[in-house]
Amino acid sequence: MDLRRLSYFVVLAEELNYRRAAERLHIAQPGLSQQIKVLEKELGATLFERSTAGVRLTGAGQVLLEEGTPLLRDVDRIANRVRAAQEGGAGLLRIVHTRSVADGLPDELVRAFRLLNPSAELAIESAWTAKNIEMLRAGEVDAAFIRLPLADMTGIEILPLGRTELVVALPADHDLARKRTLRFSDLEGVDIVSWPREQAEGYFEYVQSTVWGDNRPVVVASEPDPEHLLAAVAAGVGVCVLDAGRASRLRPREVAIRRFTRPSLTAEFGLAWSASRRSGPLDAFIRHCAPVSDAYRRSSSAEHQ
């Protein structure tokens, strides 16, 4: 049975109108009628009953519709898998997220890649920038989402993807919570809760130098992730600077979130991989992320002009 004729049959069975079916298929109506007749001859069965009242399926036609529709879906699925294998999308791809950019663009990129490459097997983990780079260098993962800048880029290639805004989380009864927005100078002399410097040295130094300059803050506590940072703030331990998205989603009732006075504070994130380890699935994922990176770079360039 010719799969092209089967696809013509399914469209006609859905429309039950030769003119509309021919328009959907972008072929002439007499040509569609001829192809259906050939299919009926091949199968030795009448598929449609034609009358002045219109077109309707016969019992045999109903069976072919029920069996043929999933068959065509399987054919499309197989074709997609073959194309993905040819383009390098098939195989295992190990990706690790960074917790400070969870639930954002990285997740969207991974979900879209999974849909476009059904033959790819994805293994997903979550850690922090320094650990992610360590895993890349050890060959434990293929691609890592990280915070930028990196303190040490030896052997690592980077694709910048975007920026997220950083905000201040503070106890709801803190004096600074009375302000709608905060200046960097408002945080001078304030007890600070921070993530450990060794988790993302470059990112840590960027935030510290941007907000406090040479007058580094008093860090009264270090917490491993946004959940623990916000819990410490809620307990009145101190104030912290963290990603706006994570702060908004995880904020306890006892915590107030304040943006910085414009221009707002933002920090970059990107995709990293080992320069010495490449694979078909990794190359396919890099190509998948490249248009996002290109758009981000164009946007950043336009903002600085």
Give 173-231 pLDDT, tens digit per residue. Answer: 999 999 999 999 999 999 999 999 999 999 999 999 999 999 999 899 999 999 999 99
Confidence class for position 165, pLDDT limits 50, 70, 90: very high
Residue 214 three-state SS: coil
> Distance between CA atoms of 290 and 59, rounded to whole angstroms?
51
Please name which of 171, 3, 19, 180 lies closest in space to residue 78, comparing C-alpha atoms: 3
Give tens-digit pLDDT for 21-36.
Answer: 999 899 999 999 999 9
Cβ 229 vs Cβ 223: under 8 Å: yes
Q: How far apart are CA 123 and CA 141, in angstroms?
A: 9
Pairing between strand 156-171 and 255-260?
antiparallel
Long-range CB contact pairs, 209-212, < 8 A, 24+: 210/184, 210/265, 211/184, 211/187, 211/241, 211/265, 212/184, 212/187, 212/188
